[in-house]
Amino acid sequence: MKRLSLLLSSAFLLCLCACSKVEYTEIERPAYLRVFNELNFRISLANKDEQIPFLTMLIDPVVDKDGLVTGAAIIGDYLNQRDTYAPPYPSHVGESTTKSNPEYPGKESVLVGPVLNGFDLSSWAQVPSGEHRIMFCIRPTNDVPFLQLEPKLRKIVMIDTTLTLNERDVYTLHVFQKNFITKENTVLLREENFHKLPMSDSMVYVNFYNYSAEGFWEADKSLKQGLGDNDNGMLRYGMRDDMNVWMSLTKPFTYNTLPGYHFNYLANIKREYSGKVAHYYSFPLFADTMSNKISTDFMTLFSILAPGISPDQMPYGNYDTESAGTYAFLGCYGNGQFTGNLDLRGVLKMPGLNINIHSGTYNPRTFATIIQSRLSTAGLT
């Protein structure tokens, strides 16, 4: 009899679960937004008077007569400096060790974008389209939610602006330092177009942006020591306002280039703060003709050189700080953990532009990506 009552109780609970109502949130006319905190500096004796770049984003904030934020339609809290590499797929969902969020939506449990024209937009949050007041406030580096901070800590506004987001369009919003000398900070909203272009899944696509702070590369190297370690290579010292980009595809951990991909000229990039999308360049996913067309393993090496410098003349494996600003190297391979005997001093080591994962009966299988390379502050999106 006791066992029967337990079975009946279990059946009753199952019935209750089956009949429970699931509430869904919906945004009728959404735009899709991804946000990065690009304030790429560390507090040291040289800049001890600057605020730690730990932010809260407020969309359509509610502010009282004393300038105190009391609420907002959307809050992106604990927005820390972005990771050097932000992959084109969600990589922070489920992280719970810290509330620090390297991007928005990142760890936030919010509605995200759909698959649009074959592109997964789950790294973009859904937000209502239309005109919005967007505010970024500096907050303490603790786990206290922004609206629970004491009043004086909810008044440190770094940026207060108005932006318009069109329905069903895809946007990336960058917060960055515009001027290294004056410490002026600003935002840049870029309306993406990759989902509107006729791209092939057998090609890898990449474009380049120089969002450097004005006056950074000319500044004395002693002012840049806190900006990164030697793994950032020559990019830790910045680059000039006008640079050329050359690309080589090489065998893993060698400088032996694949046929047809030896120092191919790709682009000229200039420091600018416009929201226009840079041109995408492409190369075949299976550029290595020796691959089995299921998976491929090669390194992409970008040489970023001042005009007039030939990539054949560069001291690869060297680390010439006296030439800071005139050249830098970006090596993309695997998951970014380089091994072997190849001398890659001066090279910023990043994950590969291809995604190699277990898929079906293949382990691994290679998939192409669309990568936006944000240079000088050393990052890929």
Amino acid of residue 118: G
Asked whether 110 and 126 are in contact (CB, 8 A), the reply is yes
228 with 182, same domain? no
204 with 187, same domain? no
Residues 100-158 have pLDDT tens digits of 999 999 999 999 999 998 889 999 999 999 999 999 999 999 999 999 999 999 999 99
Q: Give the residue from 132, 164, 191 where a domain finishes.
A: 191
* d(C-alpha 381, C-alpha 375), whole Å: 10
* d(C-alpha 90, C-alpha 354), whole Å: 16
256 with 325, same domain? yes
User: Residue 109 domain-assigned?
Assistant: yes
pLDDT, residue 245, reads 96
User: Residue 5 domain-assigned?
Assistant: no
Q: What is the average per-residue pLDDT within 361-368?
A: 92
88 with 165, same domain? yes
User: Residue 172 domain-assigned?
Assistant: yes
Whether the ω angle into residue 114 lies within 30 degrees of 0, i.e. cis, is: no
228 with 349, same domain? yes
pLDDT, residue 90, reads 73
pLDDT, residue 342, reads 62
User: Residue 340 domain-assigned?
Assistant: yes
User: Residue 12 domain-assigned?
Assistant: no
72 with 144, same domain? yes
Asked whether 232 and 211 are in contact (CB, 8 A), the reply is no
pLDDT, residue 103, reads 95
pLDDT, residue 12, reads 36
338 with 232, same domain? yes
- pLDDT tier, 380 (very low <50, low <70, confident <90, very high otherwise): low
Q: Which domain holds residue 346?
A: 200-380
pLDDT, residue 26, reads 81
pLDDT, residue 9, reads 39
Q: What is the average per-residue pLDDT within 22-50?
A: 76
* d(C-alpha 177, C-alpha 81), whole Å: 12
324 with 279, same domain? yes
Higher pLDDT, 246 or 23: 246
- Phi, psi angle pair for 24, to nearest 5°: -115, 140
- pLDDT tier, 41 (very low <50, low <70, confident <90, very high otherwise): low
Map residue 212 onto helix, strand or coil.
Answer: coil
Spell out the residues 6+ positions from residue 84 whose beta carbon is closer than 8 angstroms to its own.
Answer: 232, 348, 350, 378, 379, 380
Residue 195: pLDDT over 90:
yes
Residues 323-344 have pLDDT tens digits of 888 988 888 888 766 666 566 6
Residue 358: pLDDT over 80:
yes
pLDDT, residue 325, reads 86
- Phi, psi angle pair for 215, to nearest 5°: 90, 0
List the alpha helices (DSSP H) in 317-368: none
pLDDT, residue 377, reads 52
Residue 192: pLDDT over 70:
yes
Tally of residues, the chain: 381
297 with 245, same domain? yes
pLDDT, residue 17, reads 45
210 with 187, same domain? no
User: Residue 240 domain-assigned?
Assistant: yes
User: Residue 126 domain-assigned?
Assistant: yes
User: Residue 62 domain-assigned?
Assistant: yes
Higher pLDDT, 371 or 225: 371
Q: Which H or E run contains 15?
A: helix 2-19
Instruction: Name which of 63, 80, 74 is nearest 155 in CA terms.
Output: 63
- pLDDT tier, 7 (very low <50, low <70, confident <90, very high otherwise): very low
Domain count, the chain: 2
Least confidently predicted of 275-279, 318-322, 352-356: 318-322
Chain centroid offset of residue 56 CA = 17
Point out which residues pair with 101 in neighbouring strands: 79
Q: Give the residue from 158, 191, 224 where a domain finishes.
A: 191
Point out which residues pair with 164 in neighbouring strands: 131
- pLDDT tier, 248 (very low <50, low <70, confident <90, very high otherwise): very high
Q: What percent of the chain has pLDDT over 90?
A: 53
57 with 124, same domain? yes
134 with 215, same domain? no
Q: Give the residue from 173, 191, 209 where a domain finishes.
A: 191
pLDDT, residue 208, reads 93
